[in-house]
A and B are shown apart, each in its own frame.
Chain A
Amino acid sequence: METTPLIPQGVKRCSKLQFSLWMAVAVAVLLWGVYAMYLVWFKGLNQTNMNDAYGFALWIWADLAVIALGGGAFFTGFLTYIIGKDKLKNIINYAVIIGFICYSSALLILAIDIGQPLRGWFIFWHANEHSMLTEVAFCLSCYFGVLTIEFLPTIFENPKLDKIPFLHHLSHNMHSIMAVFAATGVFLSFFHQGSLGGVAGVLFGRPFSYREGINVWPWTFFLFTWSAAACGPCFTILITWITEKLTRKKLVKDDVIQLLAKISGWMLATYIIAKIADTLYWAMVTAPSMGFNLMDFYTNNPVYGIWILILEIVICGIVPAAILITRKGRESKFLLMLAVVLAVVGVCVNRWVMVLQTLAVPVVPFEEWFMYAPSWQEVATTILPVAYGVIVISLAHRYLPVFPQERELNPSN
């Protein structure tokens, strides 16, 4: 009797041995993170180097960063299903998987980060709708549900699962109304990406991150959504490129990448103009009204110099935007990859300063700068999602038809 293979037909995958060895490395790193997670859950947050000045630290940065990078899923979904950029259907599956990994990681890190994990449901049950964090929790969880729904049809397309009639139909039917789910995802993403910006922006006791805005939304609300829409797709392009290098084959056509890079570039260019305007207003109006000069935030400490602002806005903002909006820049493989790496670093630096530097800056005049270095448990639990992501991507690439153009691009298989 003929058995259905687990691996999709017409594509080539590495040997079981090679795959097992690769997975063993990833699982070893994952287990290291799981051990650290166990320590934190059972012994408490004394396992970290956080303190009363650093209530938020590496984990909250990791949360903000992965959610921004996972923004590729909602923005690519928006472009594909709502704007109608059909070309992007060739990368949307992967964008969704990357988003799924990012959002599940963010939820896991949040579960580790809270002091009483068993009370995590309080945030839903006893919701304070005035808190930005409440909005983040609701939208994050709902959007994770939406991403799972978007991911499921790809899982059901595994040759073995596709043989099951119900799953075959379910996959087809979910595809047929995917625009509804994608639109819901865009709505949720707009609010939770924004609310993450609002988390720091509303802190009127913290002159480094406080921003004015419209009604209850500080400018950071809009800047975070914008930057996630700009840099998320860059992360999707970067991970696609890494996957192509590791699997030694082309998976997505250049015109698809070029289109995504172009849109991303214009988003980044407009974002960075808005960010510069925001920074100027903050430096010249908001901060001085609280008694701070711009350089008060960047001097008298061993780490945070003005270099970090230049890195974020010029090197990781203006430069990648300039590369991505020009045809020549996009068509040069080196410049394209340089731009996406810079954009990814830029959004991570932005999230870092909005969390860590916010808390480092002394606000009470007779206090000093607060410095922090994470404990190994914090580092391990932050690397845990990376190992988890490698495992999910490896499994998805091996067993699911993630890239519709793979067979066409690798005909010799």
Chain B
Amino acid sequence: MKEEQGDKHTKRYGMVIDLDKCTGCGACMVACYAENNVPFKKNETDKLDSLNWIRIFQLTNGRSYPDTEICYLPMPCQHCDGIGKHGHPPCVSVCPAIATDYDYSTGVVSQIPTRCFGCRYCMAACPYHARKFNWWDPVWPADTEKYLNPNVSARMRGVVEKCTFCFHRYQQARDKAYLEGRDEIYESEYQPACAQACPTNAITFGDLNNPDHAVYKLKNSPRAFRLLERLHTNPKVYYLSSKSWVRRAGDNYLENESRPESNRQKIHHK
């Protein structure tokens, strides 16, 4: 957990999800399952023990017809920067065996399944339920094992796993850049599977610190908000919505407490 601040190459990869564009189709979930060798159950009715690294919630404004409004909200790991300086997400410092780490060069919160011994403290710490536990041994239907992604290790029973922002793709992009004699990778070279699979381009991914990347501008949109900002988890997943009730649904407020406009200021990163 050594800090590498002040490095001009320090990146903070993040995601902006435009909820106005999301149709709730689930393509991001399917792509994630396939890309990351995520096993599935015969019956996926109970989502509380599914290994879905990205989930889609259906939000409603609670009004009756004809004023009913629906919004679909995909939720991957929020890759929190945490309280204070970046590097203190809720889940990382609690892990007793350093099986999860904050990568200061990219801002990605990693998970090391071969180090994890399954105490599940990180799951208790994460308010987003982004961390999933392997309650069973991974089993794939006949022959589908042949189609597993060779770039991602399958996990075993009894360990925690989570969205990695497809970190293996970052490593591949870095390798490619190195072979081509480049220091930097292009925005298009590192994109997670969910962002690429989204048919409406609702998911945008890139370096939040890089003014040339699309996410840099999008995160400063007046439509932008993040989930549970008041807990100071400081996530790197931003959402965009033109509807105020959706933006308000992103956090907890006391009765009669309005969503302070200053909250929008907080999401602007220095």
* Chain A interface (Cβ < 8 Å from any Cβ of B): 44-46, 50-53, 55-56, 113-117, 119-120, 122-123, 126-128, 130-134, 137, 199, 202-207, 288-293, 296, 358-359, 363-367, 370
Contacts and interface: CB of A to CB of B under 8 A. Distances in A.
A202 B231 CA distance: 12
Contacts of A50: 120, 135
A53 B115 contact: no
A182 to B, nearest CB: 28
B120 A205 contact: no
Contacts of A205: 90, 125-128, 228, 231, 233
Given A44-B157, A115-B116, 12 more contacts: A44-B135, A51-B46, A114-B117, A115-B134, A126-B98, A126-B99, A132-B94, A203-B94, A205-B90, A205-B126, A359-B124, A363-B228
Contacts of B94: 131-133, 202-203
Contacts of B48: 51-53, 370
Contacts of A52: 48-50, 123, 129, 131-133
Interface in B164-178: none
Contacts of B90: 203-205
Nearest to A46: B135
Contacts of B25: none
B231 A55 contact: no
Interface of B: 1, 46, 48-50, 57, 59, 73, 83, 90, 93-99, 115-129, 131-137, 156-160, 227-228, 230-233, 249-255, 257
Contacts of A137: 96
B254 A288 contact: yes
Contacts of A56: 120-121, 123-124
**Most chain A C-beta atoms within 10 Å of own C-beta, residue among B59, B123, B257:** B123
A206 B251 contact: no
B96 A292 contact: no
Contacts of B250: 365
**Chain B at the A interface: mostly helix, strand, loop or mixed?**
loop
B60 to A, nearest CB: 9
Given A44-B137, A56-B120, A113-B119, A291 B251 contact: yes
Contacts, number: 164
A19 B136 CA distance: 43
A290 to B, nearest CB: 5
A50 B116 CA distance: 18
Contacts of B59: 366
A116 B231 contact: no
Contacts of A207: 231, 252
A69 B126 CA distance: 29
Given A289-B230, A364-B227, A45 B117 contact: no
Nearest to B112: A126
Contacts of A359: 124
Contacts of A288: 254
B53 to A, nearest CB: 11
A204 B232 contact: yes
B96 A55 contact: no
A51 B49 contact: yes
Contacts of B127: 205-206, 363-364
B115 A126 contact: yes
A207 B135 CA distance: 27
Given A52-B49, A128-B98, A291 B158 contact: no
Most buried by A among B1, B115, B158: B158
A44 B233 CA distance: 32
Contacts of B99: 122, 126
Given A134-B96, A291-B257, A365-B250, A115 B118 contact: yes
B120 A290 contact: no
A62 to B, nearest CB: 15
Contact of A122 (B57, B115, B157, B253): B115
A366 B249 contact: yes
A131 B93 contact: yes
